[in-house]
Structure 1
Amino acid sequence: MSVFTPGQRWISDGEAELGLGTILNCDQRSVTVLFAASQETRTYSVRQAPLTRVAFGSGDRIAAAEGWHLIVDDIEEVDGLLVYRGETDTGEPAELPEARIADGMQFNQARDRLLTGQIDRNDWFDLRFRTLHHHHRTEQNPALGLAGPKIDLIPHQLYIADEVSRRHAPRVLLADEVGLGKTIEAGLVLHRLLLSGRAERALILVPDNLTHQWLVELLRRFALEVTLLDEQQSQAHGEANPFESGQLILASQQWLFANPHRQAQATACDWDLLIVDEAHHLDWTPSASGPGYACVERLAGRIPGLLLVTATPEQMGLESHFARLRLLDPDRYHDLSRFRLEEAGYVQVAAAIDALDRLPDDNEATDIVAAEIDDADSQALLATLSDPESADTQRDKARRQLREHLLDRHGTGRVMFRNSRRHVGGFPERHLHATRLELPSAYRRLLHTFLHGDDALDELLVDTGLDYPDVLLYLEATYRALGDDPRHAEPWWQIDPRVTWLLELLTGAGRDKLLVITHDRDTAVDLAEALRVLGGVFAPVFHEGMSLVERDRAAAAFADEEYGSQLMVCSEIGSEGRNFQFCRHLVMFDLPQHPDQLEQRIGRLDRIGQHHAIEIHVPVFAASPMEQLLRWYRQGMDAFSAPHGVGSSLYDAFGDALADAFLDAESLDEIIVETRALFETRLAERDAGRNRLLELNACRPDRAEAVIAAIRELDDDPALKRYLDQALDIFGVDSQDLDEGLMHLRAGPHMLDGLPGLAKGEEGFTATSSRQRALVRDDVQHLSWEHPLVREMMGRILDGAMGNTALALLNHPSIPAGRLMVELVFRTYCPAPRRLHVNRFLPPTAIRVLLDESGANLSSRVSFTGLAKNLRKVKKAVARDLIKSRHDQLRELLTQGEGEAERELPTIIEVAQQRMRAELDDELTRLKALARHNPAVRDDEVQALQDERAALDAAIDGTRLRLDAVRVIVTVDDSTKR
């Protein structure tokens, strides 16, 4: 039974979080303790008080109530109370009675907790050591931040994400063609920047119809929870700035661009990254900016990182493309006429890159390459490549390096990434099925009216309120708009043969799904009704007049394989943003007038992940304007066979003439011939010039394969399952193995609170460590070292006191009973801002020291695993008594162990410095060389890398050790088993 005296300091064994307690009074039966820091009072039975006396020893550092600290030299006991004597941090002699020790003094450090009798479970200690080991290993993996997301390992996406996310405050245009995964690339960059600490806050602006899709994508693929902000949510915050309500804010462009007050609030916040989707919708000319462009320009001027996402960077011509680049770097892209000249010069650079493959046997190729290089390094590489005496391996290496130099130093490749389907490869074929239908008499009368002359056409435009040439192309809309005419009393769908044709097509499709896209929202709604009435087909509708929730329900009803609808009808909005690659039949109930819109429609199905040929069905009326438009698409530019990326310039050149020729077949023949000629010219220019450079620069296969290999190393890591089994058990998570490598996780009755995705009383979630299995099902999460649950458990262990003390018994025939050993785990501590991501060079590193009671170092002779499997647990009360009886001996061993660990620290620091300097010095040299040739390399980018290197050098050099965990081991024989 302990002896209690008022004024003594004790801690609660079961409630260590109460802090340091003071004995208020004590009688023969009970003792009352005040825990002033937590303002709690406890009364315990004297005989069974779960309390441990706090008694410091020589060398300990104690916090005084007045805020100063004492380093203990000597201890004296006066009337049952301890008085500590020693020096303050400034070296002055001082005295500190235990009653004046700070109430809020915490005992989280392993040394303090051990000596005050706070002992954790052995399996907690084991998990802590393994967590340190796995954290150290995974933090240095070059794929960190790219391995966790639930994505296919597609080379061009991973190359772009790796290249962009390595940069200081990246500012780039992600401009891959439709279906190549720009949203995934942006998500990967964001995920890695967040995980590495290079970014903490991001603002994501997307078109209104895509907000929910982005929300779901970021959650399902990247496990990123974002705050979706709209006006209703903003008003709920009252006078507070709603953009401060989360770290990741997702908002509608239409909402923000139309609201100057909310724009000012967004601009007033501190952000690290701005992401803008569908950036080609931002209007700009040299003389004026649209409201959306002006808003993004203000934000981009204050936010260091910027990702612009668009599949059609030149949809509105070179001027529009320049406007996007101007947002990324206004200093570099400030003169449109100069930019035009630069663009024209990229043909020679692309020719030089192609000429490399003809060396050393082609003198003309040597001249072509020599004309594009002017630095000594490149000239030396060209000399090696041109020398017939060079070995094949030397020439191959020189060719590869020279290609890298040319790609790096020319063009907009550092700020713009554009992959094409032709360059990426692996996409399905497209099959066009055009069906000619007879014009119904009502539509024929309308077209006959148009032929009567301009007056009749002008009158029809006024009567219908439609634009030209819509009034010609979308005859059901014209018919519907003339509903007051008795001749149009019937609904258009009762006289339109395309409806019957569609029902027949659906019948012949078997179980295949069909996506139907129409130009007009009212046509989509009417068509769905027609299918219900005439064919008993219930088809969900998707159009811009629906709420986000309604659109999502419609898309989900179509996507469900077992119970979903076979057909969905979309207005033109269905061709932007939504992905329907599970479907292979696209029905164009009509045709859009712009080639880019046509490609966007096809791109909803023709995407990465599509495993079938795309069947494109187009019904057209014989000798109608729509059939003429179909002819222009097919004969003028092969628009249905593959995306070519030149449709916008063709439409700019011939769009007006095409509209005038819809009723004149001879004029259309001439336009088709001229379109074809320009189409072939544009393709040749694309292949020779800037687009050729962009394709070569947008994916470097060697780099991409290295990233994929690093990801697969983490994917296939057998240690993950073993670690999860132990961690989930300790954290109280129930795990049930299912078929096909799946597991269901849910909160157990004793689960620790606050674990991501798990709450007591809720269903939990299903997960798998198999990437492929996770990709098959939306409802299955991908478990990896980067999964939020895994990182949360590891973070709690590494940042808290869990498992940093333990005591165990060891039965060994060659060691007498009663002997003491201590297993000390020291950990490197490198204080540095998160943005430096110092962990890639020096993550927390464990140094294990095993000492016997004589001070002999047994670390190299007895492994952690070999020792751990022979240890037995001991009751906490017995453990505390053992610690109390060996205080002085333990203090000596702790001090000696620190000296043993310190001897290993210089080597760890030196290795980290070498790793950091090798990587950053090479990158700095490359960046400075690039800056001399390519003005797209910003001065602040070079300076930031120099500053980062200097800061990392100082941080790594300042690395220190601290005791992270300690386990006391006492030897026993069979007769002393407990």
Structure 2
Amino acid sequence: MGRISCLQQLDFEPLPHQIDTAWKVLYPMGGRAILADEVGLGKTIEAGIVLKELQFRGQLNKVLILAPKNLTGQWAHEMRTKFGFPCWVNKREYGWNWHPFVVTSIDLAKRSPHADIIRAIEYDVVIVDEAHRLKNPRSSNYAFVSSIKTKHLLLLTATPVQNDLKELFHLVDLLRPGYFGSFADFQSAFLAGKREPKNPKELQDVLTGVLIRHHRSECAIKLPNRHVHLLPLDLTEPEQALYDAVVDFLRNEFRRRKEMKKSTLGLLTLLREVCSSSFAALGTIESMGLEELIPLAEQIRQNAKAQVVTDFLQHSKEKVIIFTEYFQTLDYLAMHLQALRIPVLVYHGGLGRWTRAMTQHEFQKSDIPVLISTESGGEGINLQFCHQVINYDLPWNPMRLEQRIGRVHRLGQKHDVHVYNLSTRGTIEEHMLDLLQEKIQMFTQTVGFIERLIYSQKSSEKLETHALEYLLDIQAKINQEKAKTKPPSEVSSSFQPVSPPLFLL
């Protein structure tokens, strides 16, 4: 087979694994591949080398890069400065035909009239960043990408499977239709259960024809170590009263909806919110008209998690990024810390592209020690100048957890990274770790090893029942155990970033 000939045209020296990826894409895989390197290993660089090689051969005339809106500027900058491509972030109808090298958000591109114009163009290369967003074949994103005419297709994601193995099938089928045959064929050959592969080694071997994944330990780079600490804490009495009342309501409402065959999705959302903060739960409680729960939520002025974070920050001398899934939690925590004269910056999906860029710049260059981010900060933002992460609440998708940690544990990081996961004792949040562990096991059996995310504990049960039903059942068992035993002795909620870890992986 051939070799990569464009390297002398680059003003930087790519890493060996990045060159290896470009070679595999262009030769064994024929230009259609899932690039699934761990977060921070340079998937953008790998895609850029593929483009540069095709340009070197005279085979690159029309390129489309689809990325989340907040990453389009970053993609354009990388392509211009590192590879010399005349990259254009397009938002206009006329731009699709006019510009040879277009970057845009998938949310814009799939809308009319843009989608029809794009479908009429024959592209040499289409690149989709954060391609795990294409996991649902019934989604508009999936339908749109599958309708684009392109010779080469690169799907970039560090997390090609997140919740169950059906997602992996659909992502591969989008890239190479019929690669696994039908879903029934895939199920028969490779699935022992929803999250359990049959013949994991055989499935991994088959995936090498379409998926490339490098782990940090395999590459010619040495990243600092990752230390993950689990910090269990107790809810305050008012928080516990709200939590118990919410669980009682959810248990009764779940049974009622199940009997009436109605959706229970909104109930699961409330259960997740109340584990984050009373402020995150209050909006949903009000929208559901749960009048008896509103006073319980409104009387809470302090959250136990916020006090733990406050203690941490008062002892810390380094920058810290705090992740939460909920804007209401972010808003409360920011006001709480500012009231204590701890300066903070916030980062969330509602900020414009310029504001997000300025926030990241200010966090790096100023003396402000804290950045609080919602889930939108878990994709695309590079924070390797920071080496402390607090997960205020845990996402129920372990790959989102990896996205968060990967913002700091990536190329350019010079310090050991410390990750602190907050988890409330005696709540379903504590037992969701089992589900996270199960999903991580599924990922490692199919795609490959991932870094430590939670802590060393094997899943104690198979979670084959509906998540809400399972968790409410778990909560009932927790309450029974509480009734049998004395309350645990008080444990200090404060912890310091330089002290020995509480629960090491």
The two structures share one fold, judged by TM-score above 0.5:
yes
Equivalent in the alignment of 2:334: 528
User: Within 5 A, what are the aligned runs for 1:89-488?
Assistant: 144-149=5-10, 153-165=14-26, 170-230=31-91, 233-234=92-93, 241-257=94-110, 259-285=111-137, 289-299=138-148, 302-330=149-177, 332-340=179-187, 347=201, 411-421=206-216, 423-424=218-219, 426-450=222-246, 452=248, 454=250, 467-476=269-278, 477-479=280-282, 485-486=294-295, 488=297
Kindly indicate whether the alpha-carbon contact (under 8 Å) linking 1:443 and 1:479 is maintained by their aligned counterparts in 2: no
* Cα distance in 2, alignment partners of residues 500 and 559 from structure 1: 25
* Cα distance in 2, alignment partners of residues 481 and 319 from structure 1: 31
* Per-residue deviation, residues 580-608 of structure 1 (Å, max 9, x unmatched): 22211001111111222222222222223
Kindly indicate whether the alpha-carbon contact (under 8 Å) linking 1:634 and 1:640 is maintained by their aligned counterparts in 2: no
SS at match of 2:475: coil
Residues 229, 592 of structure 1: CA spacing in aligned structure 2 closer, same or farther, 3 A cutoff?
same
Alpha-carbon distance, 1:205 to partner = 0.7
* Cα distance in 2, alignment partners of residues 475 and 573 from structure 1: 19
Residues 471, 167 of structure 1: CA spacing in aligned structure 2 closer, same or farther, 3 A cutoff?
closer
* Per-residue deviation, residues 534-573 of structure 1 (Å, max 9, x unmatched): 2x2332211111112221111121222xx25321110011
**Is there any run of 5+ residues in structure 2 with no aligned partner, and where?**
191-197, 257-262, 442-449, 482-505
SS at match of 1:541: strand
Alpha-carbon distance, 1:198 to partner = 1.9
* Cα distance in 1, alignment partners of residues 71 and 389 from structure 2: 21
**Is there any run of 5+ residues in structure 1 with no aligned partner, and where?**
1-140, 235-240, 351-409, 670-978
* Cα distance in 2, alignment partners of residues 297 and 320 from structure 1: 15
Alpha-carbon distance, 1:215 to partner = 2.2
Alpha-carbon distance, 1:516 to partner = 0.6
* Cα distance in 2, alignment partners of residues 227 and 575 from structure 1: 25
* Per-residue deviation, residues 857-893 of structure 1 (Å, max 9, x unmatched): xxxxxxxxxxxxxxxxxxxxxxxxxxxxxxxxxxxxx
* Cα distance in 2, alignment partners of residues 617 and 308 from structure 1: 31
Residues 486, 340 of structure 1: CA spacing in aligned structure 2 closer, same or farther, 3 A cutoff?
closer
* Cα distance in 2, alignment partners of residues 500 and 634 from structure 1: 28
SS at match of 1:204: strand
Equivalent in the alignment of 1:545: 350
How large is the RMSD of aligned CA atoms in angstroms? 3.8
* Cα distance in 2, alignment partners of residues 173 and 668 from structure 1: 47
Alpha-carbon distance, 1:202 to partner = 0.2
Kindly indicate whether the alpha-carbon contact (under 8 Å) linking 1:450 and 1:457 is maintained by their aligned counterparts in 2: no
**In structure 2, which of residues 295, 312, 336 is the aligned counterpart of residue 505 of structure 1?**
312
Kindly indicate whether the alpha-carbon contact (under 8 Å) linking 1:283 and 1:292 is maintained by their aligned counterparts in 2: no
Equivalent in the alignment of 2:325: 519
* Cα distance in 2, alignment partners of residues 631 and 347 from structure 1: 24
* Per-residue deviation, residues 727-772 of structure 1 (Å, max 9, x unmatched): xxxxxxxxxxxxxxxxxxxxxxxxxxxxxxxxxxxxxxxxxxxxxx
Query: How many residues end up aligned between the 2 structures?
Result: 445
Equivalent in the alignment of 2:368: 565
Residues 569, 308 of structure 1: CA spacing in aligned structure 2 closer, same or farther, 3 A cutoff?
same
* Cα distance in 2, alignment partners of residues 668 and 250 from structure 1: 56
SS at match of 1:469: helix
User: Within 5 A, what are the aligned runs for 1:801-820?
Assistant: none
SS at match of 1:519: coil
* Cα distance in 1, alignment partners of residues 53 and 285 from structure 2: 56
> Match for 1:252: what amino acid?
S
* Cα distance in 2, alignment partners of residues 448 and 580 from structure 1: 38
* Cα distance in 2, alignment partners of residues 489 and 331 from structure 1: 54
| Structure having greater relative contact order (Cα 8 Å, sep ≥ 6) | 2
Residues 479, 196 of structure 1: CA spacing in aligned structure 2 closer, same or farther, 3 A cutoff?
same
**In structure 1, which of residues 619, 634, 642 is the aligned counterpart of residue 422 of structure 2?**
619
Alpha-carbon distance, 1:263 to partner = 1.0
Alpha-carbon distance, 1:482 to partner = 5.3
Q: Which has the higher strand share?
A: 1
Q: What TM-score do you get using the length of structure 1 for normalisation?
A: 0.41
**In structure 1, which of residues 641, 645, 666 is the aligned counterpart of residue 452 of structure 2?**
641
* Cα distance in 1, alignment partners of residues 178 and 284 from structure 2: 51
> Match for 2:354: what amino acid?
V
Kindly indicate whether the alpha-carbon contact (under 8 Å) linking 1:532 and 1:538 is maintained by their aligned counterparts in 2: yes
User: Within 5 A, what are the aligned runs for 1:780-819?
Assistant: none
SS at match of 1:540: strand
Residues 215, 310 of structure 1: CA spacing in aligned structure 2 closer, same or farther, 3 A cutoff?
same
Residues 169, 162 of structure 1: CA spacing in aligned structure 2 closer, same or farther, 3 A cutoff?
closer
SS at match of 1:200: coil
* Cα distance in 2, alignment partners of residues 144 and 601 from structure 1: 35
> Match for 1:549: what amino acid?
W
* Cα distance in 2, alignment partners of residues 318 and 466 from structure 1: 22
Kindly indicate whether the alpha-carbon contact (under 8 Å) linking 1:179 and 1:603 is maintained by their aligned counterparts in 2: yes
* Cα distance in 1, alignment partners of residues 439 and 87 from structure 2: 45
Alpha-carbon distance, 1:307 to partner = 0.9
SS at match of 2:422: strand
* Cα distance in 1, alignment partners of residues 248 and 8 from structure 2: 66
Kindly indicate whether the alpha-carbon contact (under 8 Å) linking 1:584 and 1:605 is maintained by their aligned counterparts in 2: yes
Kindly indicate whether the alpha-carbon contact (under 8 Å) linking 1:515 and 1:587 is maintained by their aligned counterparts in 2: yes
Residues 454, 418 of structure 1: CA spacing in aligned structure 2 closer, same or farther, 3 A cutoff?
closer
SS at match of 1:305: strand
Residues 416, 465 of structure 1: CA spacing in aligned structure 2 closer, same or farther, 3 A cutoff?
closer
SS at match of 1:177: coil
> Match for 2:343: what amino acid?
F
SS at match of 1:546: coil
* Cα distance in 2, alignment partners of residues 247 and 206 from structure 1: 17
Alpha-carbon distance, 1:488 to partner = 4.6
Kindly indicate whether the alpha-carbon contact (under 8 Å) linking 1:628 and 1:668 is maintained by their aligned counterparts in 2: no
Residues 599, 661 of structure 1: CA spacing in aligned structure 2 closer, same or farther, 3 A cutoff?
farther
* Cα distance in 2, alignment partners of residues 668 and 294 from structure 1: 48
* Cα distance in 2, alignment partners of residues 595 and 552 from structure 1: 27
Residues 465, 324 of structure 1: CA spacing in aligned structure 2 closer, same or farther, 3 A cutoff?
closer
Kindly indicate whether the alpha-carbon contact (under 8 Å) linking 1:150 and 1:220 is maintained by their aligned counterparts in 2: no
> Match for 2:141: what amino acid?
G
**In structure 1, which of residues 579, 604, 613 is the aligned counterpart of residue 407 of structure 2?**
604
Equivalent in the alignment of 1:800: none
Alpha-carbon distance, 1:520 to partner = 0.4
SS at match of 2:147: helix
> Match for 2:362: what amino acid?
A
Residues 607, 150 of structure 1: CA spacing in aligned structure 2 closer, same or farther, 3 A cutoff?
farther
SS at match of 1:531: helix
SS at match of 1:303: strand
Kindly indicate whether the alpha-carbon contact (under 8 Å) linking 2:275 and 2:424 is maintained by their aligned counterparts in 1: no
* Cα distance in 1, alignment partners of residues 71 and 451 from structure 2: 26
Equivalent in the alignment of 1:663: 475
Alpha-carbon distance, 1:174 to partner = 1.1
